[in-house]
Structure formats: structure tokens, C-alpha cells
Chains A and B, each alone.
Chain A
Amino acid sequence: MKNILKIISLLLILFSSKLVSAQEITKSIYFLADTMNIQKDNRIFEMGEEGVWTYFNFYCRCISNYDRDITFIYFTDTAAKNAYIDKPPFVYISWKELSKLIWEEGKGFDKKYKLNMVEVLPNKRFRVNPVMLFLAEIKY
């Protein structure tokens, strides 16, 4: 009987949390990740691959209580392979605006915004991938 009550209460929590998350609206935003036209020393982020992830490590400790640069990642294997021939006609967010949103939302950034990285490729090609915030928190 106890176990049944436990399951019911968990399911209630689960479904109420689902309901809440369903009501949250995530807004798509686009950031132009240009490593082709900006000198390495002047870049605000570093891009690369580690394990199964492609990462964008922004040189910004802009989440409070998180003493580390912030990283956005996407899963390399299932990422979009197709490239746009021209710069896709999105409304791009500036770094100034993006860093402000990250500062405001902190760890909950992904719940409010769906960030898409638009990578600049050689020959004026562009690739778009949604990313998620990865916080390598200290574990105790």
C-alpha cells in the first residue's frame, strides 16, 4: 500500500512537472559562430570536438556561482550535415545580447531559449545546429 502511494505521488509530481515544462515557451535564437573571418586572438569562443560532442566554449564566466567558462554543445553524430549555400536569413543575436540572456537565466537558460549555432564554413557555407548549455559543475 505504501509503495502504491509512493508511486502515485511520484507520478503526480512527474506529470505536474511535465505540465509546467509544457507551459514554458522556449524561444529560438540564432548566433553566428564565425571562426573563419575572425583572428584567433580576437575570438570570444573556442570551438572543437571532444568525445561525441562538438563544443563552443565561450570565454565568459557569466553564470553566477559557476567559476568556469560556459560551454554549449551538440551531438556530433546526429548534427545537421547539410550546409546552407548563403547566410540563412535568421535574426541573429549579438554576443552582447546573448551574454546578457545567459547572465539573466543562468542554469535555466535552456528552459527559456533554444539557441542555434550558425557555423560559418569555408566557401561561404553555413551550418545550423541547436545546442544545449553544458555546465561542468564541481561534484562532491
Chain B
Amino acid sequence: MMKKLNSRLTPVKVFVFCCLLLALAIAACKKNDTEQLAEQNELAKWYIQNKPTTHVSYFDDLKPQWESIYISEPSSELLVYEVKLSNPKKVYQKLSDESQKDRSQLRNNIRLLIFKDKVTKQIISSCYMSILNEGELSKSLDEIHYKRVNDLSGKIMFFNMLGKLENGWGYLDGQITMRFNGSLEGYYFGLKKPVLGDLKNPAITETGSRFDKLMTYTPEPCAFPQPDWRTSCVGVDGYMTCTMYLAGYFCVDQTPNGGGEGGYNPYGGNPGHGGGGSGSTGDNSTPSIEIKKDSIAAKFPCVKVMVLDSLETIPAYNKMVQPFIKNGQKPSLTWNATTQPWSDGNFSAGQTKVSSDSFTGMSSDININTAMLQQGSRLLIAATIIHETYHAYINYLFASSGNVSLVNSSKPNYMAGLYQYIIYEKTGNSNNYTDHYNMLTSQFDNFTDILYSYGKGNFTIDDCRKTLLFGMNNPGPNPEAGQQEFINQAYNDLLKKYGYTADNINMFTLEQTNAIASKRIPNSGCQ
């Protein structure tokens, strides 16, 4: 009986059980779909809010495909969303040694990375990851992901959202062979460490005139460093934007410190978060022994802590002060607060002088206007410090290498090349005019990156740009014929590029020079 009953009920039981399972599966799928959709929306929303407001690089032509996301967890703190990008304009990164464009396109794949803090569940930052296959052409790049390169022979390069190269890694059969950085040096290391006999590089030899001598920065720990300059080009056919970067130093006795190999540092220059791979020298936390801040710190302790010290953690800024971080030696960089004009339309935010014990500009004194430190916004103070540091850096470059030519004369800045020719033919060394010209034509984006990173989301890109324009059209006292016109041209080119008017800038400047209390730097309580 029982048996019979059981045999009758079994198909019903199975049917009900199957229905239950199906219902559960559908519910689970629905829940999963809902969660996934919410996650996609969160990423898309964040991306729209944080991407550049204007078209600043070829990367802006790539559109995220939010339905196609690969998620990885490279550490216990970090979640990385890898978003595929539609590429209707066929933007690609060109291999430096690949002449056939079809091959270059096939060998390149660009994706958007979005980094999220697993603990706080906050999105931290994003960047573009460009994978370059320099091995077999047939190799599929779809299987290569952030920090999972399989047996890639080639490069993975990371660009920030402004399209600027931040750092990258070179691989041979899946092993890291070198790291490189957009603004600082890197080292060849690991399996491909070269031998002393390989250390021949014509890049550091002079090429005739003294001004052709290549500017090089030599890190102290390496006994035999030899620089290796490369070009990174991103764009569409016929319109590539190329930047020179220092791929690395051949170094026989030194390997780099730090972990995070193969990665990108989503926290910018903040070494406290680890992550590695930013390409910073690892010296960012070194006390600034020859950057003398005592004088300014005595009157404005928070300026030291909140601006000077903080800026030094950003690699691109750190590069400018690196020459001055040497124990007890020249060169030195001395910060002071002094009285300068700050009213009636005459605003002097700061000035840079060659130190009295220096003859060709190796060491500089930077005097920041006391009134600005009291009344100006934190944004303006930081912008001024970046601006004046660059003057000191150019002074140092002239003294140490004789080369102050930093203008990138490659496309599309051909005008800069012409101006550059005119400037240096006429002057020979740097002055207020040449420095400002360099800033306007070749350093402006770099400065913007620094200031924006420093702001950690508190300043918009537009505000950073407007603030940095402060004083850049000043050719200095007694300009030579044509200098004011040239500098106005360069200045107006930038206004036009970003859609600003002179009135916009004036209004904005007024707000910054006499900022409301919440935008100023406090006098205490920042230690």
C-alpha cells in the first residue's frame, strides 16, 4: 500500500520539486540580474561624473560597454572592474617598432579600469589599460586581464583619464622584464637584467651643439644608469599624439623596490596605500633635507603640511623637487613668505630667485606672497607653488645640463616648435618669458594633472586649469620685441581650447585671490 502510494506520488513530487527548483533559479537569476544592473549603473554614473568634461584625448572617443565587465580582486582591499570599450574611430596605441598600421591595431586592445575600495565600497579612480602584443600576432588579447597576463610578450600601459601615460610594464613570456613611467624613471629588472657590455646608449651622448645635450635625471642608487627613451603614441590613423617617456634606466646593480608589479596605482601618488606600480622612485617619503621649509613653516605651518608636503607625494611634482632632495649639498630649494603686491589689480603670488650662493641657477629661493597665503584659496596657493617650483626646476636644469628646452614640438603642437625656435635663438637661457612659454605650450596639462591629483576630488579640472592660468601671460619686466605677442598667443590658444573667456578668468581669479574662509588654508590644527 505504502509502496503503491509512493509510486503514485513520485511523479508529482518530482514535478513539484522541479517547479520549486525552477522558481528558485528564476528568483536567484532575477536577483543576480538586479544586482548586476545596479552595479553597472553605479559604475556608469561614476564614470559620467568623473570623466573629463571636454574632449582632452583620443581615449574620449572610446565608449564603455557596461554590459561587458570583467571583475577581478587583485588584493583584499581592491576590486577592479575591467570594462570593454567600443571603438568606432579605431583608436589604438601604436607599437614603437611596428610600421604596419593593420598589425598595430591587431596587436592592441584598450580597456577602461575602474577601481573600488572593497572596505569602504567607494570607487577610487579609473584609468585606461592598453595591452600591446609584441609576440605572436595570432595571440588573442581577450584572455589578458589586469595583473593576469598569461604568457604575454609585450607591454601593458596605463593612461590616466586625461590620456596621459602614468606607468606601464614590459613582459616577456608573461614575466615582467621592465617597468616604465610617464613622468619618472624606471629600471630594467628581473630576467632581462642587462650586463655591463649592454650599457651603450647614444641617447646620452652630445649631438653637436651644447643645447642638444639630452636632459637626463640620474637616480642616485644606481652606479651605471643609462636612460632609455621611448615614444608612446595613441590616436587614429594619421593623427597620433605622441609623448616621450623614459622607459627605464639600464642598471646593472640595482633593482626597484616595492610590490604591486604589473599594476596601476589607483591612489595616485599616495604611497601609504601601496598598490605599487606607479613608477615612483620610492623616495617620496624621504625627508626633504635640502628643501628648506623652516622659514615658511614658522609663519604658515599648514601651508607646509597641506600643500608643500602633500604635493611632494605626487610623482610628477616630485620629479621637479627631486634634484633638491640631497643631504647637505647644493642644489637647494628654500621656501619663504614675503611681502609682495596684493591689491589694486596688482597681484604677485610668488617669485623665484636664484639663491645668493648660486651663480648659474642650481639653487633657488621661492618667496610666496604673505597676503596670498592669508587671503588666497588653497587652490591658488597650490597652483602658485607648482608654478614657482617649475621656475626653480628650470633654473636647475639650465645649471645642471644647459638644456631648458622642454617644449614638445611634435604634433599637434607644431606652433610650439616654431615659438621654441624663436625663443631660444634669441635668448639662449631661461627667463620669465621662456619659462611661461614652456608652461603654456607644453607643461600645462602636466600641471593640471598635478593640481587635480593634489585636490583629491575637491577641485574640478576646470577650476585647476583656470587657476593655473594665473600670471602665465606675464613675460616679465621689459620684454623684448614680440615676446608679449607670442605669450598672448599661447595664452589665448589655451583659453580657446578650453572655452574660457578673459572675463571668466578674471572673475574666477578674483574669487581665488580673496577666498571665503572655508577655501583658505587654516593657520593651525593641521599637524
Within 8 A of B (CB), among A114-137: 132, 134-137
B432 & A136 in contact (Cβ 8 Å cutoff): no
Provide the residues of chain A in CB contact with B431, threshold 8 Å: 135, 137, 139
Q: Which of B64-72, B128-136, B302-310, B352-360 contacts A (4 or more CB under 8 A)?
A: B352-360
Tell whether B477 is near chain A: CB-to-CB under 8 Å: yes
A14 & B353 in contact (Cβ 8 Å cutoff): no
Tell whether A65 is near chain B: CB-to-CB under 8 Å: yes
A138 & B359 in contact (Cβ 8 Å cutoff): no
B426 & A78 in contact (Cβ 8 Å cutoff): no
Provide the residues of chain B in CB contact with A11, threshold 8 Å: 418
Within the complex, which residue of B362, B388, B419, B478 is in contact with A65, where a contact is CB–CB below 8 Å? B478
The size bracket of the interface on B is 35 or more
B390 CB to nearest A CB, Å? 9
Q: Which of B15-23, B93-101, B399-407 contacts A (4 or more CB under 8 A)?
A: B399-407
Within the complex, which residue of B353, B425, B429, B482 is in contact with A138, where a contact is CB–CB below 8 Å? B353
Given contacts A17-B426, A55-B360, A77-B210, contact A140 B350 (CB under 8 A): yes
Q: A18–B418 Cα gap in the complex (Å)?
A: 14
Given contacts A13-B482, A57-B359, A71-B360, contact A140 B422 (CB under 8 A): no
Tell whether B428 is near chain A: CB-to-CB under 8 Å: yes
Instruction: Count residues of A near B (Cβ-Cβ below 8 Å).
Output: 33
B359 & A140 in contact (Cβ 8 Å cutoff): no
B357 CB to nearest A CB, Å? 10
Within the complex, which residue of B350, B359, B401, B426 is in contact with A52, where a contact is CB–CB below 8 Å? B401
A134 & B360 in contact (Cβ 8 Å cutoff): yes
Provide the residues of chain B in CB contact with A6, threshold 8 Å: 415
Q: A132–B422 Cα gap in the complex (Å)?
A: 18
Give per-residue flags for B413-450: 1 if the beta carbon is below 8 A from chain A beta carbons, else 0: 00100110110011011011001000000000000000
Give per-residue flags for A55-84: 1 if the beta carbon is below 8 A from chain B beta carbons, else 0: 101000000010010010101011000000
B177 CB to nearest A CB, Å? 33
Within the complex, which residue of A14, A73, A75, A139 is in contact with B432, where a contact is CB–CB below 8 Å? A139
A52 & B476 in contact (Cβ 8 Å cutoff): no
A14 & B399 in contact (Cβ 8 Å cutoff): no
Within 8 A of A (CB), among B339-361: 348, 350-354, 358-361
Provide the residues of chain B in CB contact with A139, threshold 8 Å: 351-353, 388, 391, 395, 431-432, 435, 476
* Chain B contacts to A: CB under 8 angstroms: 206, 210, 330, 348, 350-354, 358-362, 388, 391, 395, 398-402, 415, 418-419, 421-422, 425-426, 428-429, 431-432, 435, 471, 474, 476-478, 482
Nearest 6 pairs between A and B by C-beta? Answer: A136-B354, A51-B399, A139-B391, A51-B400, A55-B359, A75-B210
11 inter-chain pairs at a CB distance below 8 angstroms, sorted by A residue, are A6-B415, A7-B415, A14-B418, A50-B330, A50-B362, A50-B399, A51-B360, A51-B398, A75-B210, A77-B206, A110-B428
Extra inter-chain contacts (16) besides given A10-B415, A78-B210, CB under 8 Å? A11-B418, A14-B418, A50-B358, A51-B398, A51-B400, A52-B400, A53-B360, A73-B359, A77-B210, A134-B429, A136-B360, A136-B395, A139-B391, A139-B435, A139-B476, A140-B348
